[in-house]
Amino acid sequence: MTAQGFLLLLELVGVFAFALDGALVAMRSTHLDLFGVVALGIVTAVGGGILRDVLLGELPPATFRTWYYLATATGGALVAFWGHRLLARMARPIVVFDTIGLSLFAVTGAQLAVDAGIDPGQAILLGGLTGVGGGTMRDVLVRKVPSILTGGLYAVPALLGAVVAVVGPLLGISAGVAAFAGGVVCAGLRTGGLLRGWRAPRATLQSPEELD
Amino acid sequence: MTAQGFLLLLELVGVFAFALDGALVAMRSTHLDLFGVVALGIVTAVGGGILRDVLLGELPPATFRTWYYLATATGGALVAFWGHRLLARMARPIVVFDTIGLSLFAVTGAQLAVDAGIDPGQAILLGGLTGVGGGTMRDVLVRKVPSILTGGLYAVPALLGAVVAVVGPLLGISAGVAAFAGGVVCAGLRTGGLLRGWRAPRATLQSPEELD
Amino acid sequence: MTAQGFLLLLELVGVFAFALDGALVAMRSTHLDLFGVVALGIVTAVGGGILRDVLLGELPPATFRTWYYLATATGGALVAFWGHRLLARMARPIVVFDTIGLSLFAVTGAQLAVDAGIDPGQAILLGGLTGVGGGTMRDVLVRKVPSILTGGLYAVPALLGAVVAVVGPLLGISAGVAAFAGGVVCAGLRTGGLLRGWRAPRATLQSPEELD
């Protein structure tokens, strides 16, 4: 399998995981029907990749150039819709799928940005953005405060995973190995943050009025 | 009138209808002033088309290449602002204008995507996205759960209208006839869904906690 | 300093002011941690410029072509995070920083649009959009009704500032002077609107149900 084919495969696994995640969130929120569930699954699954392609100027986005992404996203959402009882038996499925999608997109997004000629620093941010983009659109549409803004490390694992994926090849490590290591770092930090309740420092405001 | 001129005319009718719709929604929501009403009218009217042009890579979007779109959108919003008493006498004006805009944008968006070389399947999705894009931005800005996610068929009529507009020409039907038929299908399904309360199946969750 | 260098400097001042503003808003809203504060600061600071570059088709956006913007935005957000006690002693800091960012982005956005070949009318709207874009993304993410839609002139000063910045050079005034005058007009109108409670006319609805 070529490096490009492997990257596509990783992306499609990420799309599937995010579609499951988005569809499950849709079913938990206010009374969405089949089409609302599929729509939210698709937005979650392909939103980050579309955002990445728009910002890289690679238009139309990959999502619209082939049918793989949309078919995978629709499939994932339908599996969640019809299989939610089965999924519910798994431990915390939403968070698990969200973590898989986050890790894969952060890593592939960052490497695609480097391939497009973006400098390492901004490529890392673009990778992070690719990772959190779909979930953030999902949260805005169902009117949750987005995960990127709330506690429980979300954007930080994505950015650190992107750092590994971008810096690794600069140090002579193969892109595939660096992507794998970056994904493990992202998923590990996110999972650790959730299980152990790792938290970032907060500003200690005495009262909200203090600032206005 | 050329096919292209006819498509532009349809688009401008859609822009006007969506501007009326967006402005009326703005007046119903929390105490917006004249400029808030016009801003929401414009976003609703041109949001879907801008999204389509960004995704097709046709930049700057048509909205910024000529003055027609913005002038039509501003005009529609002002008509709604000063004429809302008159509009209020019509039956359910918001829904009517929203349906007109949805149908026209879904059909024209899908045909423009095909013209840009997008495959039929993805062109249909892009048409649907053009149709629901402006209304979704409107809903996010006034903090409603977007129509695409709630019951009462919204995205499905747009997608089916786009199917007719895209598949018709593949079967030898002229683009104009296919666009007209697609618009009728979309408007009919949306109206039928509203009047008859057609609903899509829902997931039967026992409790929301089941999924997390 | 070249005209282009001066425009970049103005942009970076706007980025810094918006980053302070976004970070302070983040600290006031629901319990955001360090990374949430920085993320919201960055979105507020670079959101309008990214939107402008996407719409102009200048991709990747300036934000991703150099490190200046992201470094400035991150710096501004960190200053707000660690210095909020000091900032709180200033009068209404959020509004002050927001006004500075709004004025600078409206004016530079409009002039960049003209440079990209956009007609004056649409360039003015694009300038206004550049000004209000970052703040609108900030408001959507923290689930406030966006400032552009609520009372207290927000989009109007941005648009009038953009008018001055665009029309000035057409009348033979140098771009730098026109930009400065446009910024003063925008900041003055916004500040006057806030201090004096200037308001735009509202629609006088008898009841919300009137419209549906």
Closest in C24, C36, C92 to A149, CB measured: C36
Whether residue B198 is predicted with pLDDT greater than 80 in this model: the reply is no
- Taking CA atoms, B73 is separated from B20, B22, B68, C4, in Å, by 8, 10, 9, 34
Buried b (16+ CB within 10 A) or exposed e, A139-154: bbbbbbbbbbbbbebb
Q: For the ranges A101-110, B39-48, B126-135, B194-203, which has the lowest average pLDDT?
A: B194-203
Q: Give residue B73's pLDDT.
A: 95
Q: Quick check: B151 and A33 CB within 8 A?
A: yes
ipTM of the complex: 0.84
Q: Quick check: C64 and A118 CB within 8 A?
A: yes
C141 contacts chain A (CB < 8 A): yes
For residue A202, what are the β-bridge partners? C33
Smallest CA–CA distance from B29 into chain C, residue: C208
State the smallest CA–CA distance between residue A34 and chain B in angstroms. Answer: 6
Q: Give residue A28's pLDDT.
A: 80
Q: Give residue B91's pLDDT.
A: 56
Q: Give residue C118's pLDDT.
A: 93
Q: Give residue A49's pLDDT.
A: 93
C197 contacts chain B (CB < 8 A): no
Sort A61 into a burial class: Cβ within 10 Å, 0-12 / 13-18 / 19+.
buried
Q: SS in 3 state form for B92-134?
A: CHHHHHHHHHHHHHHHHHHHHHHHCCCCHHHHHHHHHHHHHHH
Across residues B96-121, what is the average pLDDT? Answer: 90
Q: Give residue B151's pLDDT.
A: 60
The answer to whether the CB of B7 falls within 8 A of the CB of B1 is no
How far is B210 from A137, CA to CA, in rounded Å? 24
C79 contacts chain B (CB < 8 A): no
Q: Quick check: A33 and B200 CB within 8 A?
A: yes
Whether residue B208 is predicted with pLDDT greater than 90 in this model: the reply is no
Across residues B134-152, what is the average pLDDT? Answer: 83
Low-confidence ranges of chain A (pLDDT < 70): 1, 3, 30-31, 88-93, 151-152, 200, 202-212
Number of C-beta neighbours around residue C207 at 10 A: 8
Per-residue confidence band for B1, with pLDDT thresholds at 50, 70 and 90: low
Low-confidence ranges of chain C (pLDDT < 50): 206-212
Give Cβ neighbours of residue B208 (< 8 Å, ≥ 6 apart): A28
C143 contacts chain A (CB < 8 A): yes
At A210, which helix (H) or strand (E)? none
